[in-house]
A and B are shown apart, each in its own frame.
Chain A
Amino acid sequence: MTPLRALLPAASLLLLSATPTWAVLGQPAASVASDQQRLGGERRSIAADDFSVEEIHSAAGTVVREYVAPGGQVFAVSWRGLTRPDLRSLLGEHFAEFERASRSSARGRRPLVVRTDQLVVETGGHVRDLRGRAYLPALLPEGVSPAAVR
């Protein structure tokens, strides 16, 4: 298992970066502000019992949700819109794992489900409505099911 806590210092780098980047899966939520800047959209926070959701509505029509555990880490992301957000940024260090695993999955123009020991990524939808979500099962707050990520 990847020691995710070791990544905490990356948060300040994200905020200082000249090119705003995404808050990424498994990292602290501090960089949500730069996501908002990049998307040029409105942001609102939704508090739930076991986690909070930072929702960013981009002016270009994509909604990205970042699910933050009580400890402050992003344990899941979801997206929906005319286009797909950049999964390299959104998945961060987990992107390589996603790429490796998705290469072995079956082909066809159809929804994609990628599961590894650490990561679940699902993409789907159709023209004008592309959707997906990614989460780290090990970081799901206690009592929260993957179905809460939508």
Chain B
Amino acid sequence: MRSRPVLRLLSVVSLLAGCGSGTGGSDSGGGAVNNVLPIQVSFGPADDLVNGLYTSVTICVPGTESCQTIDGVAVDTGSVGLRLLASRVSLPLPRMTDASGNALANCASFADNSYTWGPMATADIRLAGEQAGSVPVQIIGAPSFAGAPDDCSSGGTAEDTVSALAANGILGLGVFRQDCGAACSGGRVPPLYFSCPVGAPCAATAVPLAKQLQNPVWLFPQDNNGVLVSLPAIPATGAPTVAGSLIFGIGTQSNNSLGGAKVYTTDDVGNFSTVFEGQTYSSSYIDTGSNGLYFQDSDTIGLPACPDGDSDFSCPPSTLSLTATTIGHNGSSGGVAFSVANAESLFRSNNAAFNDLGGPDTGDFDWGLPFFFGRPTFIAIEGQSTTGGTGPYWAY
């Protein structure tokens, strides 16, 4: 097990009264905006997650200098939108309502059968020197708010505490502008957005695109076509923590040019293909929010699962060096070398960051955080034009 006692109380929230331009943002000379947000791989605010990728997010009451910085926010390219635990938000953010004045709420489901539920609010989001104004965000686990409806929880696990979420919030920076898109803006909508009248149950409702959870990056005035995730290479035995950068924009400044990176477009739900050991995994994706390399191994190379509580990870007797081919929707292809080590040996090291942590998946190929170490990866947002073409795509 990777769970360990919480040895210290982390000071997770700092309230910055009137933080103003003091977010370390703009160049004083009116030149390029600071587009570099520091990110860290660590055990996170719950002190028990390996390969968790975190950053600090500054939110402000829209149009004001009343701001707050929340650290320990998970950086997740497998979801879209900013979601914050209510217990970590001290600002009085304005709540969102539908056309009838009823509270709007959002439901997000995640790969591990967990969900987040809570009301929508708006906030200005400041990341490095960039700002997106009045952005819809989700407040998770808000006290005195309606509980999750059945068609949200759906038999999943609520992640409404720091210990359940292993984070103070989630910054979703996937390839889409919104978490749902057109499917939630009209017709028979899926249960992602809910209208919550006072004294009546919450019911799924249609929400226009502008009122859905947003990838804040595409709302920046500049550097708004995507992000570059940059993490250094680390040893096969892991590293205690790792510091890296989230750089906003693709080909917009001197620090984010595509260079020799190859562009792999995704399909309309954000997948490309991975070919491994003769099998094609057409529902394949790259995701900082997955903490390992997850692929269906039993039908291919038969990696043994770890015993007991760690059976979600692979435990080969010795480290395997492997290669797969990734193929974009645009047909471009390239090899990706990766390793899978014995997860129990890795966990014994007490390191938080590993480039060779693997486990099984349900017929997919999930390139999680280990993919990113030493492999700068661009994530282009749908509909946004870049020097490498229009998103959605990944490039590396």
A88 to B362, CA, bound (A): 20
- On chain A, the residues within 8 Å of B1 by CB distance are 106
Chain B interface residue count, CB cutoff 8 Å, equals 68
Which residue of B79, B155, B299, B364 has the most chain A CB atoms within 10 A of its CB atom?
A: B155
Contact A109:B283 (CB < 8 A) given known A95-B155, A129-B270: no
- On chain A, the residues within 8 Å of B52 by CB distance are 108
Chain A interface residue count, CB cutoff 8 Å, equals 45
- Per the 8 Å Cβ criterion, residues 269-321 of B in contact with A are 269-271, 283, 285, 287, 289-292, 294, 299, 309-313
Interface of B (DSSP majority class):
loop
User: Do B299 and A147 touch (CB < 8 A)?
Assistant: yes
User: Do B362 and A123 touch (CB < 8 A)?
Assistant: yes
Say whether A42 faces chain B, with CB atoms less than 8 Å apart. Answer: no
User: Do B359 and A133 touch (CB < 8 A)?
Assistant: no
| CB contact between A109 and one of B112, B192, B312 (< 8 Å): that residue | B112
Say whether B78 faces chain A, with CB atoms less than 8 Å apart. Answer: yes
- On chain A, the residues within 8 Å of B368 by CB distance are 110
User: Do A111 and B181 touch (CB < 8 A)?
Assistant: no
26 cross-chain CB contacts under 8 A = A81-B190, A82-B180, A82-B190, A83-B107, A83-B191, A85-B154, A86-B155, A87-B156, A90-B155, A105-B311, A107-B48, A108-B50, A109-B74, A110-B359, A110-B368, A111-B360, A111-B364, A124-B111, A125-B111, A126-B111, A127-B80, A127-B108, A129-B269, A129-B285, A132-B362, A147-B363
A124 to B361, CA, bound (A): 7
* B116 smallest CB distance to A (angstroms): 11
- On chain B, the residues within 8 Å of A90 by CB distance are 155
- Stretch of A3-11, A25-33, A46-54, A55-63 on the interface side: A55-63
User: Do B111 and A123 touch (CB < 8 A)?
Assistant: yes
| CB contact between A130 and one of B109, B151, B361 (< 8 Å): that residue | B109
Say whether B393 faces chain A, with CB atoms less than 8 Å apart. Answer: no
Contact A127:B361 (CB < 8 A) given known A59-B187, A108-B291, A110-B111: no
- On chain A, the residues within 8 Å of B108 by CB distance are 127
- On chain A, the residues within 8 Å of B48 by CB distance are 107
Contact A126:B285 (CB < 8 A) given known A109-B114, A110-B111: yes
Known contacts A109-B76, A126-B79, A132-B113, then 19 further A-B pairs from the complex at CB < 8 Å, ordered by chain A residue: A40-B188, A59-B188, A60-B183, A82-B180, A83-B191, A86-B151, A91-B155, A106-B309, A107-B49, A122-B361, A123-B113, A123-B362, A125-B283, A126-B174, A126-B285, A127-B79, A127-B108, A131-B283, A147-B363
* A123 smallest CB distance to B (angstroms): 5
| CB contact between A123 and one of B112, B183, B283, B359 (< 8 Å): that residue | B112
Contact A112:B154 (CB < 8 A) given known A105-B309, A124-B366, A133-B362: no
- On chain B, the residues within 8 Å of A89 by CB distance are 155
User: Do B112 and A110 touch (CB < 8 A)?
Assistant: yes
* B188 smallest CB distance to A (angstroms): 4
Which residue of B112, B151, B184, B362 has the most chain A CB atoms within 10 A of its CB atom?
A: B362
User: Do B291 and A113 touch (CB < 8 A)?
Assistant: no
Say whether B145 faces chain A, with CB atoms less than 8 Å apart. Answer: no
User: Do B155 and A113 touch (CB < 8 A)?
Assistant: no
Say whether A150 faces chain B, with CB atoms less than 8 Å apart. Answer: yes
A108 to B343, CA, bound (A): 14
Q: Mark B310-335, 1 if CB is under 8 A from A, else 0.
A: 11110000000000000000000000
User: Do B151 and A112 touch (CB < 8 A)?
Assistant: no
